[in-house]
Structure 1
Amino acid sequence: MPTAAAQTKVQGRALSIIAVLLAMVAWVLSAMWWLPAPGVSALPPIQPRPSAATRVSATSDVESTVAAAAPAEAAARTSSLELTALHSRWQRSSLRGATADGEIGFDAQGRLHLDRDLLRRFEHYLTLIGEFSLDELGQLLREASLREHGEAATAQLMDAWKRYLGLRHASASLATRLSLEDRWIQLQALRRAWFGDAAEQLFGEEADYDAYTLQRMALQNLDATFRDTALTELAAARPPAERQAQYEAGAAQLAEEQTRQFDALGLDAATRAAEREALWGAEAAARLQTLDAERALWQRRLERYAAERTALLQHGQLSAAERATALAELLRRSFDGPERHRVESLQVAGLLPSPG
């Protein structure tokens, strides 16, 4: 049997072993505490504090980003100001207060209607050529469409607008030496080239009338006995709506020609009114009389302006800068915004009235 001293020695060794085991368990548990849980990423390593040079570089990057954004913001502000100026000019244009002609329509799938109503809307804008550039008219059309129809629809509209302008330019470039029939054939080919299958829907009515006009011209070579009968039969074959439109167009042309004859003969207002009433009726005669008065007033204003302008051009004591300033002031004083564009066009074309 072990002595008391031996037992004490064995107990001391056992306690030492237990202490070592407890220390190892504590170390393992400590290590497990810092391990990431399943499915959780380990914590990122601690980054060193950025140096002064690094902080300067970061600040420069931010400043560069802000500086790069500044031109875009400035461009946006400029674009907004330009559009505001365009709207201001539009409100003072010859179309101010007018209801837009034609219509921009889309089907159930959001596809643009390529039809006569669309062309009428395009032509509504194009009546302002001389007051606005084509680019400016395109901006106004696009901005109005964005407000009403949105981005996707507007993209279709502007594509059709650009194609229509291209067709107009190509049509104007057709050789003038061609016969009318050859020009008509080439025009149909251009329409198909620019608009494909939609050309019939867009230009079908116009093409039919052009063909009708060519037929009428061909009948002019017949003997008078047969010609009148053939022309009557040709006109009767046209749809009623087209016959009415043709009558109205012919009446407007005849009224204009009648006015030129009245001017050439120097007829007074009472005689004009009586002649017009006999041909067109009292209501139309009154409208034409009002138009006469407006034209006469415009002509007097043009003549007064032309006389004052000539006097400034012949003023020998004015410097070139003084003369330019005086001419600009005369134009500003004599006409409003839209009228100035008309007068400037007349000046360029040399069509101002001769003074005196």
Structure 2
Amino acid sequence: MHARIIKTGFVLLALLAIVVGVQLYLTEPTPPRETISTTSALSTPPSASPVNAPAPVAPKHEENPLAYYAAMGSSLGERPESLDGTAVDGELKADANGQLIVSPGVRQVFDYFLTTIGEEDFETVKARLAHHINRHLPPEAAQQAWRLFGQYMGAKEAISNLPSHDGTSASMRNVVAQRRALRQSWFDAEANDAFFGLENAYDEFQLSRREIMESTNLPEAEQQARLTSLTNALPHTLQKMVTATQAPVAVQHKVEQLREQGTSESEIRALREQQFGPEAADRLAQLDQRKAQWEQQYTAYQQQRQTIIDSGMATQDREAEIQRLRERLFDDSEIRRVEALDRIGQN
């Protein structure tokens, strides 16, 4: 169970602290590990509600995209390594009439499968999701969930094209307003509230918090009092989420500081074990090791790749040599990630 906690960054907070925090406070949205194509999702905002909206345009070879991808998903092998030992987040439910119940859990299901982008291509991710949808919902509700997924991907793509903020609270508030307007154009009120209600409340909390912190004319004691009052005014559920969000971030910052000071890994493990328990501490240590190995391997690849680029080879020969280098150093799932990182580095 601790492994699941580490995998999702605390499941209850995946929709808030990680997604919202990154989108809101970095100067640009975090690039995905692999560019996501939403060809089979909606490409323009729907004019009807998500449940009753017309289905996305199907691939030419298939009139029923859900059936096509579900069939593909049923023949896939083992799940990606990052999902080992985990259960699908969220839930898919239908009412007594076989209609989809639109809830935050539906978005959690979508996000669970989307976390593997980079390990698997988007077509495979869609196939696994479609298979899961078909197994857990009656036919009409399954089609509604699939259309809602298309709208979700379309909205994500549209939001990713918005201009970034300049770091000020006023600019951030403008960006948030644009995101909300886009979501309202893609989803009806029910789905918008289910998918983004807590996120919107968290946005407002963080914006108000930033505005207080930017008030340089406030004495420090008054500033802290206002921040405390702001947190205390949150609904109890959101208060718990904010507190839980701050804990792992604070520990990670502490770990980084300790490493800069030359603290031993045994002391860092003791800190993590005290905060999260022994199983989670083991998992984090393993992730640290894998991250270090990956960074070392990718750095070596970058150096060899640059040598090939500087060699003066013809473009076609150069690309073929780089591809052979990737195949020699990485497995299939890692190659997709390397290709995505190379594309990002070229932009």
Structure 1 position 295 matched with structure 2 position 287: no
1:207 corresponding residue in structure 2: 200
Q: Does 1:176 align with 2:168?
A: no
Equivalent residue runs for 1:108-187 within 5 Å: 108-132=96-120, 134=122, 136-176=124-164, 179-187=171-179
Counterparts of 1:284 and 1:84, CA distance in 2: 35
CA contact (8 A) 1:93 1:338 kept: no
Is 1:349 paired with 2:344?
yes
**Residues 13-50 of structure 1, C-alpha deviation per residue, up to 9 Å, x if partnerless?**
xxxxxxxxxxxxxxxxxxxxxxxxxxxxxxxxxxxxxx
Which residue of the partner structure matches residue 26 of structure 2?
A: none
Tell me, which stretches of 5 or more residues in structure 1 are unaligned?
A: 1-71, 352-356
Q: Does 1:253 align with 2:258?
A: no
Supply the AA of the counterpart residue of 1:165: M
Per-residue deviation, 1:153: 2.3
Distance 1:259 1:310, change over 3 A: farther
Please list every run of 5 or more consecutive structure 2 residues that lacks an aligned counterpart in the other structure.
Answer: 1-59
1:23 matched residue in structure 2: none
Superposed displacement of residue 208, structure 1: 1.2
Equivalent in 85, 91, 101 of residue 89 of structure 2: 101
What pairs up with 1:268-347 in 2 under 5 angstroms? 268-273=264-269, 286-310=282-306, 324-347=319-342
Residue 226 of structure 2: aligned partner:
230
TM, length-normalised to structure 2: 0.64
Q: SS where residue 103 of structure 1 aligns? A: coil
Q: Is the 2:159–2:182 Cα contact (8 Å) retained in structure 1?
A: yes
TM-score for both structures, normalised by structure 1: 0.63
SS in 1 for 2:87: coil
Higher relative contact order (CA 8 A, sep 6+): 2
Instruction: Supply the distance in 2 between the matched residues of 1:163 and 1:337 (Cα, whole angstroms).
Output: 30
Matching residue's letter, 1:100: V
SS at match of 2:164: coil
Provide, for residues 265-293 of structure 1, a one-character-per-residue CA deviation record: whole Å limited to 9, x for no partner: 45442454466567777776555433332
C-alpha spacing 1:334/1:239, structure 2 compared with 1 (3 Å)? same
Cα deviation code 1:148-174 (max 9, x no counterpart) = 434322221121111112222232333
Instruction: Identify the residue that residue 66 of structure 1 maps to in structure 2.
Output: none
Q: Which residue of 2 aligns with 1:35?
A: none
Q: Distance in 1 between matches of 2:278 and 2:78?
A: 35
Could you give the per-residue CA deviations for residues 274-332 of structure 1, whole angstroms, max 9, x where no partner exists? 6656777777655543333232222233234344445555668x887666555434322
Query: Quick one: which of 177, 180, 185 aligns to 1:188?
Result: 180
Q: Secondary structure at the match of 2:188?
A: helix
Report how far residue 196 of structure 1 moved.
Answer: 1.8
**In structure 2, what residue type is equivalent to 1:237?**
A
Structure whose alpha-carbon radius of gyration is higher: 1
* 8 Å contact kept, 2:94–2:137: no
Task: Give yes or no for the alignment of 1:244 onto 2:237.
Answer: no
Pick closer, same or farther for the CA change 1:292–1:115 going to 2, 3 Å.
Answer: same
Q: Classify 1:85/1:321 alpha carbon distance in 2 versus 1 (closer, same or farther; 3 Å).
A: farther
Cα displacement string for residues 323-353 of structure 1 (whole angstroms, at most 9, x for unaligned residues): 65554343223222222222222222339xx
More helix, by proportion: 1
